[in-house]
Structure formats: C-alpha cells, structure tokens
Amino acid sequence: MPQSSPDITHEDICMALEEWSFGFARIDPQLDHATQYVYRAVYHAGELSYPGDIHVDWYTTVDVESGQARPKGNDSMKLRFIDVASGDRAAPTQRLYRTTGWAQNLRSTMLTFLSWTQSPPLCPECESVLVHRSGTNGFFWGCTAYDGGDGCQYTAPTAAYSPFEA
C-alpha cells in the first residue's frame, strides 16, 4: 500500500526545524527564483572534515504565498549540497517525497551526509577532494585540482563515491 502524501504547512516545517540541530535558516527564495520556502544550513571547513564551506539548501515544496504544500506531482522536497568555493555539488542532490515520514527521511538524509563529510572522497591521483559536477554527459565526480584543465583530470561516475544509495 503506497504511503499517503500529507499536506505539509510552513508550521510543520518550523516544528521539524525546532527538533533538529542542523542549523537551517530560511533564506530569501528570490535568491534562487523559487516560489517555495527554502532553508539553508551553512557548514564551515573547521566544523567538518570536508576542506571547504558547504551550503545545504532544503527546498520544502511549501508555497511562499499560500503557506501550503504544492499540489501532488510538484511536491518532492530537495536537498542540495553545494561546495561554496567551486559552486559545484559536494554530493548528489537528494529528492525526498512528501510521505507520512517526510521529517524522519529528511533527518536521516542529513545525518548520512554529515557522516560522509567526515571523510569525503579524495582523488586517487592527487589526493584533492572530489566534488559532484555536471557535464555534457550528466553528473560525475571531478577533482577540485582540475583548474580549468591545467590540473588533475581525474573523474569518476556518480555511483562511485555517493554517500547515498543509488
């Protein structure tokens, strides 16, 4: 039996945020041309073993104007993990469906990500950190020492280092 899609309100999100200690704060959705509430958690290099700052953006599916969840079909939440220095993804974007256990699923995904940042993937050729990039053939892991083609050329498929199950 499929799980139901509960109506999630801005109040539900605020209650979940109060229970967690991930540091999410609401950001202006216009920064990302979003029509939904967007929250960001900022992790600095000294807080994690990851060598740079990371923004985790949570796209909630709750419409800014109405305060209600968007209609079914447009309702998955997303977590984006951004390496601030490069603008690349520090890890693959995670889609979380609006099911009865949405808050637990989001919490579990964040805990998995934070655990993964304690030992992020390193390039086997030069030992620099790998980031999740997008190219003409889709997403892949690329070395942060790439430097516009003058540095390390190592790449790997997404599944090779993802902290999340494929």
Domain for residue 166, yes or no?
Answer: no
Average pLDDT of 96-115?
87
Q: In which domain, by residue range, is 61 found?
A: 10-119
Domain for residue 84, yes or no?
Answer: yes
**Per-residue pLDDT at 77:** 86
Around 145, how many Cα atoms within 13 Å sit in the side-chain half-sphere? 12
pTM higher than 0.85: no
Domain for residue 109, yes or no?
Answer: yes
Domain for residue 40, yes or no?
Answer: yes
The more confident residue out of 58 and 49 is 58
pLDDT digits over 20-43, tens only?
888 898 887 665 556 778 889 999
Average pLDDT of 79-87?
88
Structural domain total, the chain: 1
Domain for residue 45, yes or no?
Answer: yes
Classify residue 25 by burial, with Cβ atoms within 10 Å: 0-12, 13-18, 19+: exposed
Residue 85: closest CA among 21, 4, 145: 145
pLDDT averaged over the chain? 82
**Per-residue pLDDT at 33:** 57
pLDDT digits over 118-154, tens only?
888 899 999 998 888 888 888 888 888 887 778 899 9
**69 pLDDT higher than 80:** no
**Per-residue pLDDT at 1:** 42
**Per-residue pLDDT at 137:** 84
**Per-residue pLDDT at 133:** 85
Domain for residue 154, yes or no?
Answer: no
Non-local (6+) Cβ contacts of 55 within 8 A are 40, 41, 42, 43, 80, 81, 82, 84
**Per-residue pLDDT at 4:** 59
Helix H, strand E, coil C: the string for the chain is CCCCCCCCEHHHHHHHHHHCCCCCEEECHHHHCCCEEEEEEEECCCCCCCCCCEEEEEEEEEECCCCEECCCCCCCEEEEEEECCCCCEEEEEEEECCCCCHHHHHHHHHHHHHHHCCCCCECCCCCCEEEEEEECCEEEEEECCCHHHCCCCCEEEHHHCCCCCC
What are the angstrom distances between the C-alpha of 112 and each of 160, 164, 165?
A: 16, 7, 10
Sign of CA dihedral 55, 50, 128, 135: negative
